[in-house]
Chains A and B, each alone.
Chain A
Amino acid sequence: MNIESNKNGNALTLALEGRLDTITAPQLEATLKTALPGVEALVLDLGKLEYISSAGLRVLLTAQKTMNKQGTMKVKNANEMILEIFEVTGFSDILTIE
C-alpha cells in the first residue's frame, strides 16, 4: 500500500493506494500515530484503494475515535465494494463518507 500525505496547516489528507489489509494496516496505523497530533481536519482519500479487510476497518475506527476528540474526519472516493463493506459492518453510520 502507498500512502500519500498532504498537510496544509491543521488539515491533513492521506491518499491510500492498494490494499488495506492485515499486512498493510499497521503501516497506516503508524502513519496516523505520527501524523495526527495537532490535526483538526483529516481526509482519507480512498480513490485508489482496491479493498479493505477487518484489520483496515479497525484502524479507521481508531482514527475516527481520535478525530472525534480533536476535530473532524472524512472518508471520500471509496469504490463500490468498499462502500458495501462500510454498509454491512455499520461503518457507514460511524464514518462520515462523501
Chain B
Amino acid sequence: MKELTVQAALENIPVVTAAMDEFLEALDCPLKAQMQLDVAVDELFGNIAQYAYPDGTGSVTVRFDHDEAARMVSVTFVDSGVPFDPLKQRDPDVSLSIDDRKEGGLGIFMVKKTMDHMVYRHEDGCNLLTIYKRI
C-alpha cells in the first residue's frame, strides 16, 4: 500500500501520476493498463481539483493498493469537498454527430469503460472513490 496527500490542484496531477507510475512499475504492470490508469488519474483527480472545493481549497488523499492473488490494482481518491458520486452521472451519447456533441461527461465515461470496477461511497463527510484495474 502507498498513499499520498496533496492539495486539490490541477498542477498536482503529474505528482499523483508519477507516484502511481512508480507503484505500478514495481508490480511489472503492463504499459497499456498503466496508461489507462494514468488517464483515470487525469480525469478523476482533475475533477476533484476543479469541483470539490468551490469556496477555496482542500486536500486529496490518493491510496494505491494491490491484491497480488487477483493481480488487481486499486486507486482510492478521498476528498472532503462537495458530495459527488461520479457513477451516478448519465453517460454521454457517443453516437451524436460532431455538431450535436456536448462538452462534459466524457472523462468519467472513459474511466468506466477502461477500469474493471468502480465503487463510490460517502463516509464521515468524505467522498471515497475507488477504481479497480486487473493488471
Q: Which residues of A contact B (CB under 8 A)?
A: 19, 21-23, 50-55, 57-58, 61, 64-65, 68, 80-81, 84-85, 88-90, 93-94
Decide if A89 touches B109 in the complex (CB within 8 Å).
Answer: yes
Q: Per-position contact with A for B86-114: 1 when CB-CB < 8 Å, else 0?
A: 00000000111111010100110110011
Shortest CB–CB separation between residue B93 and chain A, in angstroms?
Answer: 8
Q: Does B10 contact A (CB under 8 A)?
A: yes
Q: Which residue of B lies closest to A91 (CB)?
A: B94
Q: Given A22-B13, A81-B36, decide whether A90 and B107 contact each other with a Cβ distance below 8 A.
A: no
Q: Does B43 contact A (CB under 8 A)?
A: yes
Main secondary structure of the interface of A (DSSP, over half): helix
Decide if A55 touches B42 in the complex (CB within 8 Å).
Answer: yes
Decide if B32 touches A81 in the complex (CB within 8 Å).
Answer: yes
Q: Cβ of B46: which chain A residues have Cβ within 8 Å of it?
A: 22, 53, 55
Q: Given A54-B107, A81-B32, A81-B35, decide whether A21 and B13 contact each other with a Cβ distance below 8 A.
A: yes
Decide if B94 touches A88 in the complex (CB within 8 Å).
Answer: yes
B interface residues, tally (CB under 8 Å): 26
Q: Which residues of B contact A (CB under 8 A)?
A: 10-11, 13-14, 32, 35-36, 38-39, 42-43, 46, 94-99, 101, 103, 106-107, 109-110, 113-114
Decide if B43 touches A53 in the complex (CB within 8 Å).
Answer: yes
Most buried by B among A64, A65, A81, A93: A81
Which of B11, B39, B109 is the one whose CB lies under 8 Å from A51? B39
Decide if B39 touches A21 in the complex (CB within 8 Å).
Answer: yes
- For the complex of A and B, the 7 pairs showing the least CB-CB separation, nearest first, are A90-B94, A54-B107, A53-B42, A54-B106, A51-B35, A21-B42, A88-B113
A90, B29: Cα distance in complex, Å: 28
Q: Cβ of A22: which chain B residues have Cβ within 8 Å of it?
A: 10, 13, 42, 46
Q: Cβ of B10: which chain A residues have Cβ within 8 Å of it?
A: 22-23
A80, B43: Cα distance in complex, Å: 20
A74, B94: Cα distance in complex, Å: 20
Most buried by A among B46, B94, B106, B110: B106
Decide if B109 touches A53 in the complex (CB within 8 Å).
Answer: no
Decide if B38 touches A51 in the complex (CB within 8 Å).
Answer: yes
